[in-house]
Each structure stands twice: as structure tokens, then as C-alpha cells.
Amino acid sequence: MLDASQITQLKNLTDEAKNHLIIFDYRAKPSILAAAASTFLALRQMGKEVTLAAVKKPNQTKIVGLEAVQTELGKQNLTISFDYNEAAVDKISYHIGEESKKFYLTIKPKKGQPPLDSKTLEFSYTGFEADIIYLFGVDDLENLDKLYFGYEEVFKDVSTISFHDHPTTFGTLKFDASEDVSLAALVFTLFTKLVWPISPDVATDLLYGIEADTDGFRSKLVRAETFDQVARLMKLGARRIWQKPIKNKTIKTPANRKKTKEMILK
């Protein structure tokens, strides 16, 4: 269930934040993936700077937005590194070409010293900014591996919003869907109360999550409110893309029947 004070807190945090980071467990069930992707799409539609990340890309191609998943953070700053011997360097200077609009870095060696070996030059991207972090299906921050280690201070300094289908132990705000039919259903209610934009793609993801969690509305957890949400999502342009997983079954062929008969005779 959603608490009014939590909704107000989340609204204030999201309104104030400039850089939004969404991280989800790539092994999570479809409804959690759908909730994370729909949040990403909604924030992007609102004009927010938002990044969607996971340790690995999930094996899920139907959910809209997952194509934007990043598996590494730290793409903000370009870092140039090279072997450096202070005793061998006379002067370091830079200038920006007015016509070329290029940045020039000059490293002058001391007299009698060899110039910098260009083969030691390395280029990489480091650092990232986040004013708010959303965690979907994350039970332990250490499970985030490279998305957490090295960035512990970032997680400590900013507000974290956790979304799960069972109670969680961490997060500035915690949204628990254990009493709801699906996390996707809870997120839809949250978007509605926050008056966030719900595009057809967002609606499609949320509908997919609800169908996946309820086995195509066959679950005993389905109630009248569930179908009301489904109707509203379809009015918003949701497309039904969920399909019941096909279980592996042995197809009875003449060869299979003959083999079975032979085993019985033995």
C-alpha cells in the first residue's frame, strides 16, 4: 500500500533532483524489470537527466526502454593518463585552437630527456553524478558489483528509493508491493498520484508487468481493481505483449512412441 507521506517525499525528491539513476537486478522477474523501465521512460519524458543501469543486460527484449541499459557507470569525465616522470618534465601547458576548436596539451621534456612516449597514453571515462537513486529488485548493494564498489560515497550521500515485491532493509524511501498484485500495479498507482506522464510505451510496460505477475490474470490475487487498472492502461495506449511461457514438452512422434514401446518390452 502507498503511504501519502511517502508519495509527498518522493515528489519533493524527484522535483528537486537533476540527475536520476535507476539500477535494477537483471535477474529479477519481468514485473520488476517492467517497473524499472517504465520509471526510466516516464522520467525521460519529463525532461530529466536519467540513466538506466544493471550489472548485465537482461535477456528480455519485449520491455520498452531496456535497450537503453548501461552496464557501467562513470561516463561523465574524459580522463587521459600516461607514464609520468616529474624529473624529466620541464613544462606542461595547454591552449585551445580558435579555428580548430581543439584542446592541445603540450608536455615539454627537460634538456637531454626523451619526449613523452605516446604509446603510454590511455583514454577512459570516469565519474558520474546522481541526485537520486532508484533501486528495483535489489536486495543487497554489494550485489551491484561494479555499479556500487568505488561509488559507495555516492550511495551514502544521496537519497535512495527502493522498489520491491517484499519488504526491503535499506532506502531513504521504501515501496513494497507485497500486499499488491504486482509491483507494476503499485508503480502505476504511484505514477497516477504523482501526475507523471504515462505514454503508450510506459503503459505497455506496466501492463506487461501486471500480466506477467498474474499469469495472464489467472492468479487468485487478481481483484476488481486489477481489471480497472488494466482498462485505464489500455485507454492510455498500452499494447498487450505478454505471452504465457511455453513449457518444454516432449512431442509424441512415431519414433518416440516406438522407443517407449521398446523400453516397456525390455
Are 19 and 118 part of one and the same domain? no
Shared domain check, 11 and 133:
yes
Of the pLDDT bands very low, low, confident and very high (cuts 50, 70, 90), residue 255 is low
In a domain, 176, yes or no: yes
Identify whether residues 84 and 175 lie together within a single domain.
Answer: no
Percentage of the chain beyond pLDDT 90 is 58
On the CB side of 25, how many CA atoms lie within 13 Å of its CA? 18
The pLDDT of residue 262 is above 70: no
Number of separate domains in the chain = 2
Query: What cell was used for 266?
Result: 525390455
Taking only the tens place, the pLDDT of each residue in 172-212 is 899 998 888 999 999 999 999 999 999 999 999 999 999 99
> If you average pLDDT over residues 143-164, what whole number do you get?
90
pLDDT digits (tens, 9 = 90+) for 55-110: 999 987 789 999 999 998 876 667 788 888 888 899 999 989 888 888 989 999 99
Say if strands 103-109 and 89-96 run parallel, antiparallel, or are unpaired. antiparallel
Residue 85 domain boundaries: 77-126
Cα–Cα distance measured from residue 226 to residue 188, given in angstroms and rounded to the nearest whole number: 11
| pTM for this model (two decimals) | 0.75
Residues 38 and 114 reside in one and the same domain = no
Report which of residues 250 and 174 the model is more confident about: 174
Say yes or no: 20 and 111 in one domain: no
Does residue 240 lie within any of the structural domains?
no
- Provide CB contacts within 8 A for 265, sequence distance 6+: none
Domain final residue pick, 111, 126, 141? 126
Mean pLDDT of the chain: 88
Q: In Å, what is the CA distance from 18 to each residue of 26, 63, 157, 158?
A: 25, 25, 15, 12
Instruction: Give per-residue pLDDT as tens, 24-58.
Output: 999 999 999 999 999 999 999 999 999 999 999 99
Residues 68 and 145 in one domain: yes
pLDDT tens, 202-243?
Answer: 999 999 999 999 999 999 889 999 999 999 999 999 999 888
| 228 shares a domain with 132 | yes
**DSSP state letter for 21:** E
Sheet with 173-176: strands ordered across: 49-53, 19-24, 132-136, 159-164, 173-176
Q: Which long-range contacts (CB under 8 A, 24 or more apart) does 232-235 make?
A: 233/188, 233/198, 233/203, 233/206, 233/207, 234/203, 234/207
